[in-house]
Chains A and B, each alone.
Chain A
Amino acid sequence: MVNPASSFWWIPLYPLAGAALIAVFRRGVSFIAPLAVALSFLHAATLWMAAPRAPLTHTLSQWMPGLPMGFLLDELSLTMVLLVSGVGLLIHLYSLVYMDGEEGFWRYFACLNLFVFFMLLLVLADNLIFLFAGWEGVGLASYLLIGFHHDRPTVNRNANKAFLYNRAGDAGFLLGTLILLATLGTVDFASLNAAPATAATLAAALLLAFAATGKSAQLPLFVWLPDAMVGPTPVSALIHAATMVTAGIYLFARLGPFLGAHPEAGFVIAVIGAVTSLLAATVAVVENDIKRILAYSTVSQLGLMFLAAGLGATQAAMFHVLTHAFFKALLFLTAGNVIHALRGEQDIRFMGGLRGKMPWTFRLMTLAGLSLAGFPGLAGFFSKEAILHAATAQPLLLAVAFLVSFLTALYTSRMLWAVFYGTYQRDGHEAHGLMLHALWPLGLGSAAAGLLGPSQPVSWALLLGSTVVSLSGLYLGRNIRIPGLVEAFLKRRWFVSEAYELVLVEGATHRGSRLLYWVDRNIVDLIPRLSAGVASVTSSFSAMFDRVVVDGLVHLVALLVEVVSFPLRLLETGRIHHYALFILLTLAFSLGWYWLA
């Protein structure tokens, strides 16, 4: 029997093996995929039950010089492992029915298992660069799953967009890591959290914050998340709501003391969170696509977590990560039931009156929605209260957080009323089997996960305030009317996406690259062409020199020989009697000479 504690680093390997088996054999998918994730969950659960729990470490091998593949399991990573594998398991089960009969069923589960592997790697890594392996890996799995229906329009474009915005963040991650490696010589979390603050480490902290805005969809890199909703709905629930997008907050929690040593970076993170949160919440109020409402809501909630983490309350942020995972996954999956029932319809204007047709989906979604809206007593109420509590020192940020809470209640209520009340428009039917039963644990979490929160002093003013805000938002959301101009502006999502599109896609990618390619072919290529030209001109000169001077000399010699030989040649006639005559004449001449001399 293997000791579960010393083999804790196997936890991510089960889904990896699952993904590999599925990809190779493409058989037994509906058995292998959930089983792999269940094994991870059970392994982690065994460790959770074991008391007392001491942090576990394991170094697998040396990856790059001085950078090991090291694993670390402590309270923080154990919570995340349970969350990822637990919610992951439920979503695997849900997907068995949701994706049934789809072409590429095996591919879907191979990618989903692969995602769980990378996510578990991310939360179990004991140093920054090994964490990065999971960090980019979840981006890859997200890309593959967003693009699952790759023959549908805009899907591939959005998948690329998600990968590229993440990669921009990743570049910042790498630069931050390089700075830390160069200044501290190590990037394992224990050393980082003990390191003194310098200008260089501050720069690194800011760069890591930038990286987190990519993964966790915050300004300036948040635009990919709403577009990622073209992926299958269970994927949106798992990756783009419950787990991957919280990686940024996990990073802040992991580096808590390090960030604490850099309050400037923390403040920047808090402000980014507040602004993004507000922006996304306003957009969610006017969105009509149910999945995009939930996506903007996710961006907004992640903003609140950023706010808390930036102000040093990483426990509050992680608490919200936990409750948010329950209620947002539940919201997405119930939305998936609705979309499934309506055969792909996602626009809430074409929904309505489904309360009677889908009673359990209605109850669960309402529960999750109320939890999101911070209805008193539900999980979201407590975690949001913890965040508000963290923001009390910064009145402006506290005000933003209250405003966001109000808007959250507003858009949640608007969505719920539009889907389940009003006039009945389309044929719908209740989900069955695992698509319903996989949701119960999430419902339980959405209601009761508030019990898991860190203990903190109760501030009655905050409790009262957030209750009032939540209830008024829920009440007003039923019949909300937004002025046309404001709506039009918000519908364009504050023009952030358009601005990027113009600069990055149209400007840099299309025009810029074509211009540069033209330069390459017509200007840089002048080097060989010009030198070829020079070579051919000089070679024609040298050819001329060759003909005139070199050949000329040869010809001159030949000519001289010719000239000199001409008289002699006249003698060479080839006739015997001429030769006889020459002989005779020569003889006579020489005899005469001799005689005369």
Chain B
Amino acid sequence: MMTLLWLPVLGALLLLVMPRKLAWPAALAVALATLGMAAGLPVTATERYSWIPTIGAQVLLVNDGISYLLVLLTALMTLLGLAASPGQPRLFYAMLLGLSAGCYGVFLAQDLLVFFLCFEAVLIPMYFLIGLYGAEDRRRAAFKFFLYTVVGSVALLLGILTLYFQHAAQTGVYTFELTPLLSTRLPLATERLVFWAFFLGFAIKIPMFPFHTWLPDAHTQAPTAGSVMLAAVLLKMGTYGFVRFSLPLLPQASLDSSVLMGLSVFAILYGGWVCLAQTDWKRLVAYSSVSHMGFCTLGIFSLNAPGLEGAMLQQINHGVSTGLLFLLVGFAYDRRHTRVIADYGGLAKSMPGFAAVFMVALLGSIGLPLLNGFVGEFTILRGAFAARPLAAGFALIGIILAAGYMLSLYRHTMLGAVRHAENASLPDLSPREWLIVTPLLVLTVAIGLYPAPCFALLGGPVEQILERLHP
């Protein structure tokens, strides 16, 4: 697993000294090799390296079903993001590879210090991807993104340190490792405090209402590959953090989750409703992420098996569907250089292949049965209903809203007569673009029809977490 972290970093460094022309193929090769390596990871594995023994810091990488799916998603989206960005400077590719390395660290580390460092390290390449290669208002968006997430990180760090020192005070052992820290006995008030500190860190990342306003700005300004990575992978760091660390480390405080379920349902409805007012294609998809991630957090805070399994599966589904949606917006942007929905219209005439792919992505995203989104959402709703029936009932309004804003987007971009002459002669998807969307289309259908392998991967780890919550 260590090589998974090093390979992209080494690749990134190598890229910087390569001839410019070779950079894109080389970056693709590195990403492809990483994907192969990620796919070949054993599903349960532990690797331990000592690092700074005096403070009890070590590099502990553990793979399980939850991590495995996220690592695969990261590797795939990195490859596709790179493939969608030909002709960029070497630094761009290096940043993207570095970003993926940080994500692997986040999803594999079970040592809180390493987790935190990777959680932070991901910020830097993302900041530059937005700030250097973004759209017109990139500086402000990048700065907002950076500041917002740094605030969350500080809270997270304080929480981690509290756990670390409390554990040391009780046992005399200084360690950041997850498993020993589980035995720390915290007074409930302290536990709550740490929980909310973690909450701030993770909720900003997801983002949960009301900490979401950085997301639309970051997404609209980010380049395509940046948006894809941000939506498909980076947001999952928050939900992953909740499941991997908040719930098992702070079970007593987590049990008190009605507020968070409420916030999640609110985010579902709020995000969906705000989507209806959007005039910017990327901003609409960004707000839809707020709504969809609301489903993920709703599942997590249901604190039962269907809720957690559904949430973990749904974050993969969201990565696939929203990643695909952002790729498609990127393809449209490459052709027309505008994100304004009103500048499109009637693309189904000139780009039927594009319109068909967009339809599948949309249907997966709004949760049509037999496609990926439904399986995740319905499982989450089962969990939520078992925990709080009312929450599930309100969340269901979200699926009506989702159909509303997505079909409206489709209608105003793809359907109708061609209103702008430029749109009449746009070329349809190129072979390269078809290659990029195909894996995601296959996943959309495959997960929707046969999610059993995913559930099999998630079952074990979820059971362990639940054992902590309801011993």
User: Which residues of chain A have a CB within 8 Å of any CB of chain B?
Assistant: 23, 61-65, 129, 132-133, 136-137, 140, 143, 147, 150-151, 156-157, 160, 163-164, 167-168, 170-171, 174-175, 178-179, 181-182, 508-510, 512-514, 516-517, 520-521, 524-525, 527-528, 531-532, 535
Contact = CB atoms under 8 A, between A and B. Distances in A.
Given A65-B379, A164-B400, 6 more contacts: A137-B368, A163-B403, A168-B400, A182-B382, A182-B385, A527-B211
Contact of B396 (A174, A520, A525): A174
Nearest to B399: A171
Nearest to B366: A167
A84 to B, nearest CB: 18
A513 B403 contact: no
Interface string B244-284: 00000000000000000000000000100111111000000
Interface in B353-398: 356, 363, 368-370, 375, 378-379, 381-382, 385-386, 389, 392-393, 396-397
B348 A64 contact: no
Nearest to A144: B359
A147 B407 CA distance: 12
A163 B378 contact: no
B141 to A, nearest CB: 12
Interface stretch (B1-9, B73-81, B108-116, B410-418): B410-418
6 contacts: A136-B369, A137-B369, A140-B363, A147-B415, A513-B275, A527-B213
> What does DSSP make chain A's interface, helix, strand, loop or mixed?
helix
A513 B277 contact: yes
B378 A174 contact: yes
Contacts of B270: 516, 520
Contacts of A151: 346, 349, 415-417
Given A178-B392, A520-B213, A528-B148, A509 B452 contact: no
A167 B385 contact: no
A65 B389 contact: no
B352 to A, nearest CB: 8
Given A129-B378, A137-B368, A528 B147 contact: yes
B461 interface: no
B309 interface: yes
A156 B416 contact: yes
Given A136-B368, A182-B386, A516-B274, A164 B404 contact: yes
Contact of B370 (A133, A167, A175, A521): A133
| 4 smallest beta-carbon distances between A and B, as pairs | A513-B276, A133-B369, A513-B277, A517-B277
Contacts of B403: 163-164, 167
B29 interface: no
Interface of B: 144, 147-148, 151, 209-214, 270, 273-278, 306, 309, 346, 348-349, 356, 363, 368-370, 375, 378-379, 381-382, 385-386, 389, 392-393, 396-397, 399-400, 403-404, 407-408, 411, 415-417, 450-452, 455
Nearest to B144: A528
Contact of B277 (A63, A150, A516): A516
Nearest to A132: B369
B135 to A, nearest CB: 18
Contacts of A535: 147
Residue picked from A65, A156, A524, most chain B C-beta under 10 Å: A65
B381 A171 contact: no
Contact of B213 (A509, A512, A524): A524
Contacts of A181: 382, 385
A314 B450 CA distance: 35
A64 B213 contact: no
Contacts of A137: 368-370
Contact of B411 (A156, A514, A532): A156
A175 B396 contact: yes
A532 B146 CA distance: 12
